[in-house]
Amino acid sequence: MSKSAARLGIGGPVGSGKTALIEGIVPLLMAQGIEVAVVTNDLLTTEDADRLKRKGFLPPERVVGVETGSCPHTAIREDPTMNQLAIQDLELLFPQLDLILIESGGDNLASTFSYELVDAYIFVIDVGAGDDIPRKNGPGFVQSDLAVVNKVDLAPYVGADLELMQLQSAQYRQGKPVVYTNCKTAAGLSEVVAFIQKTLLFSQPTAESEKVANAKVEL
């Protein structure tokens, strides 16, 4: 009997950096011998899947684009059938897979994944959307297994108080992990990989990757 790959959802609003996060973490995972595939969700295109294929770090057959044709959260929560079928096809083609990433279409702060589809999920927000996002208490942000606050480098340019975001993220997530990232410089990405290793792959993260997720971010 073939094994099933671990499944990790990656959700968040449009433009928060979900695809950029995947572009950053997949090579790090592969460098550790982890076999990865990706399923992306878009309403009426395969734009994100095509972008990942152009990057060339995965064989194109390991990147599948799902056109949901409906609200993004429907395909990851109420009726995840299309994503489940895409995962099934990937597991049949690549039985050696360790991990499948499922990227949702861009949605709002209420977007959550069904645990019938994924084993855990990450929710990505970005500093440019405002430092009030954590205290808006959106289910996607507060309930996710890991929250990622992306584009921390933009804080001084958009007037966002990063320290306030750190404080309120910890408060509203009640101790659940938060990682602060800049995907352009790879800052914070090792912490995301460590979370995946520990939570989904049950491998021992390195001392470097096991930093406290709520550590202060140096800009």
Q: What percent of the chain has pLDDT over 90?
A: 88
3-state secondary structure the chain: CCCCCEEEEEECCCCCCHHHHHHHHHHHHHHCCCCEEEEEEECCCCHHHHHHHHHCCCCHHHEEEEECCCCHHHHHHHCCHHHHHHHHHHHHHCCCCCEEEEECCCCCCCCCCCCCCCCEEEEEEEHHHCCCCHHHCCHHHHHCCEEEEECHHHHHHHCCCHHHHHHHHHHHHCCCCEEECECCCCECHHHHHHHHHHHHHCCCCCCCCCCCCCCCCCC
The gap from C-alpha 32 to its chain's centroid, in whole angstroms, comes to 18
pLDDT at residue 216 above 90? no
pLDDT at residue 54 above 80? yes
Entry pTM: 0.92
To which residue do tokens 């090579």 refer? 27
Torsion region of 202: left, alpha or beta (phi above 0 gives left; psi -120 to 50 gives alpha): left
CA distances from 128 to 114, 151, 156, 160, 165 (A): 28, 7, 10, 7, 12
pLDDT in tens, 20-42: 999 999 999 999 999 999 999 99
Domain ranges of the chain: 6-201
Burial 110-140 (b: 16+ CB within 10 A, else e): ebbbbeebbbbbbbbbbbebebebbeeebeb
pLDDT in tens, 82-130: 999 999 999 999 999 999 999 999 989 999 999 999 999 999 999 999 9
Looking at residue 203, what is its pLDDT? Answer: 79
Give CA–CA dist 67/188, Å, rounded: 30
Per-residue pLDDT band at 70 (split at 50, 70, 90): confident
pLDDT in tens, 125-174: 999 999 999 999 999 999 999 999 999 999 999 999 999 999 999 999 99
pLDDT at residue 3 above 80? no
128, amino acid identity: G
Cβ pair 148, 179 in contact under 8 A: yes
Looking at residue 72, what is its pLDDT? Answer: 87
pLDDT in tens, 181-205: 999 999 999 999 999 999 999 876 5
Q: Phi and psi dihedrals of 77, rounded to 5?
A: -135, -70
The reply to whether CATH 3.90.380.10 applies to domain 6-201 is no
